[in-house]
Amino acid sequence: MSNIRFYNAGILTMKPGDKIIKDGVLCVEGERILYIGEPENEPGGIKYDREIDVKGDLLMPGFKNAHTHSGMTFLRSMADDMPLDKWLNDCIFPREAKLTGEDIYWSTKLAVMEYLTGGVTACFDMYLTPYDIARATEECGFRCVQVGSMNNFSQSLELQEEWLDKLNHGNPLTTYMLGYHAEYTCSKELLTGLSDLSHKYSAPVWGHNSETESEVKGCIERYGLTPTGFADSLGLFDFGGGGYHCVYLSDNDREIFKKRGLYAVTNPGSNTKLASGIAPIADYLKEGISLAIGTDGPASNNCLDMFREMFLVTGLSKLQKRDASSMDADEVLYMATVGGAKAMGLKESDVLSPGKYADLIRIDMSKPEMQPVNNITKNLVYSGSKADVRLTMIAGKILYEDGNFNIGEDPSLIIKKVNEIGNKG
C-alpha cells in the first residue's frame, strides 16, 4: 500500500449538491481517500510515497461498466453485421463451446486493459468461468462484480450457490451475484430453482431482459407473460436485481421495476449495432426507474468505451423523442458512474469522499475538445473521449497512467495470447 497526494486538481466528487472543487487536493492513504478539499485544510503528518501535480486536470469517480462479457474479447470483429439470433446461435455459441478457462483468463485481461484506458474502474461481468475471471481481474488489481450466466446448457444451480459463497468471501476486488442468461435460454424449472436460491440467501437476481421484440413475443407465447412479468411471477425479483438492455418494457414491466427497485442497464452501442432497438431511457428516468449504463460485450459492441455509450444514451434519446432536451448530460454522467456503482452494490466506490475507496480517474483538461470549460460535465458527455483519460486508479493503486499499465503482466503477452485464442477458430 502507498500514500498518494494529488494537488492543483479540479475535483468532481459526484456527490449530490457538491460543486466542482478548483485547485483542490485529494489525498489517498492506502486503498481509501483520506481527504478532499482546499490545500490549507488538509491533514498534516502524512508521509506520501508520491505527490502528483494534476496541473488543472479533473479528478472524478471512475466509470462503472454495468453490463459486459469481458472474456469475449477474442471474438471482437469475428462475427459482425448479422441479425442477433444468427449472430448468437451460428457464430457465438459454437465458438464459446471451444473455450477453456485459460482462454477466458487471458481474454479477460485484455478487456481490463481496455477498461483502464477508458477510465473504467469496475465492471459487472457476465461470463462462463468465474474463477478464471476472478483470477484475471484480481491479478490486474481491477474491481469486478460477477453475475451468473446460467442457462439450460451451463452453470448449474449448484455452481451458482458455490460461487455466491466463495467469490464473496475473498479478495474485496471480487464479488458475485446470482443471474441467468435470459428467459429464452432457461427452462421454467431452472428459473424456479434460481428463485429458491435467491430466497435462501435474500439475494438479488440479474439477467438479459427484453432486448428484442422477438424475445418478448416468444415469452408471451410460452407463458402469457413478458420476460419481466414471468420472472416476477417466479419470485426472481423479490430481493431486487435488474435487467440488461430493457429495450421493450411494457407499462406493467415498468411498474414491476419500480415496485421491486430494479435497475435497467442500457447498452445503446450493442443495441444499435445489432439493430435491437432504442430503450426509452428518458421515459424510464421520468418514471423513477433506477438506471445504469453498460457496453455489453466486445463481440457485439465491439469496444468497451463508456464515453461512446454516454453519447449514445443521450443522442438516441433525443432522436427517439425528437426533443433535444429529453436527456440531460448530467443525468447520463450519473448513470455511468454512481448509477452503475449502486446497481453493482459498490457502495464504497460510487463517489469521491473521505473513507471511500480511491477508485478515480484523471481527465486531461488541456485537450482541445475539453476547452473552453463552460460546463465540465457537458464536455465529458458530448466531447470527451477515451483519449482524455490520463490516469486510472483502483483501490489506491495506479493501474494506468499516460499510456503505461501497472497490472502485473506484460501487455504484449496478453495481446499475443488473445490473438492465439482467436486463431483457434
pLDDT digits (tens, 9 = 90+) for 244-279: 999 999 999 999 999 999 999 999 999 999 999 999
Instruction: Give the integer Cα–Cα distance in Å for 108 and 140.
Output: 10
pLDDT digits (tens, 9 = 90+) for 74-101: 999 887 888 777 877 888 888 888 899 9
How large is the average pLDDT for residues 392-400?
98
Return the pLDDT at 81: 86
Confirm if 109 and 298 have CB atoms less than 8 A apart.
Answer: no
Domain end, chosen from 302, 320, 343, is at: 343
Residue 386 and residue 397 share a domain: yes
pLDDT digits (tens, 9 = 90+) for 285-332: 999 999 999 999 999 999 999 999 999 999 999 999 999 999 999 999
Whether residue 383 is contained in a domain is answered as yes
Give the domain range for residue 167: 63-343
Return the pLDDT at 96: 85
Whether residue 418 is contained in a domain is answered as no
How large is the average pLDDT for residues 192-219?
98
Residue 184 and residue 99 share a domain: yes
SS3 361: strand
Residue 252 and residue 167 share a domain: yes
23 closest CA partner among 43, 41, 38: 38
- When pLDDT is cut at 50, 70 and 90, the band that residue 225 belongs to is very high
Whether residue 173 is contained in a domain is answered as yes
Number of neighbours of residue 83 by Cβ within 10 angstroms? 13
Residue 82 and residue 45 share a domain: no
Residue 174 and residue 200 share a domain: yes
Whether residue 270 is contained in a domain is answered as yes
- Specify the CATH number for the domain of residue 367: 2.30.40.10
Maximal C-alpha separation, the chain = 68
Give the number of domains in the chain. Answer: 2
DSSP summary character for residue 102: H
Return the pLDDT at 425: 57
Residue 67 and residue 57 share a domain: no
At residue 203, does pLDDT exceed 90?
yes
CA distances from 12 to 56, 107, 307, 351 (A): 12, 33, 17, 9
Residue 240 and residue 108 share a domain: yes
Return the pLDDT at 97: 85
Whether residue 157 is contained in a domain is answered as yes
Whether residue 420 is contained in a domain is answered as no
Give 51's strand partners: 5
Residue 381 and residue 283 share a domain: no
Helix orientation angle between 101-117 and 411-422, rounded to the nearest 10 degrees: 130
Residue 287 and residue 391 share a domain: no
Residue 296 and residue 192 share a domain: yes
Residue 195 and residue 68 share a domain: yes
Whether residue 135 is contained in a domain is answered as yes
Instruction: Give the integer Cα–Cα distance in Å for 415 and 374.
Output: 40
pLDDT digits (tens, 9 = 90+) for 355-393: 999 999 999 999 999 999 999 999 999 999 999 999 999
Whether residue 223 is contained in a domain is answered as yes
Residue 333 and residue 322 share a domain: yes
pTM above 0.95, yes or no: yes
How large is the average pLDDT for residues 400-404?
98
- Percent of the residues in the chain that have a pLDDT greater than 90, as a whole number: 92
Name the burial class of residue 80, with classes exposed (0-12), middle (13-18) and buried (19+) by CB atoms within 10 angstroms of its CB. middle
Containing 197, the helix (H) or strand (E) segment is helix 188-201
Residue 178's φ and ψ, nearest 5 degrees, are: -70, 145
Concatenated DSSP letters for 118-155?
A: TTEEEEEE--S-HHHHHHHHHHHT-EEEEE--B-SSS-
pLDDT digits (tens, 9 = 90+) for 61-74: 999 999 999 999 99
- Specify the CATH number for the domain of residue 223: 3.20.20.140
Q: What's the grid cell of residue 247?
A: 429495450
How large is the average pLDDT for residues 105-132?
98
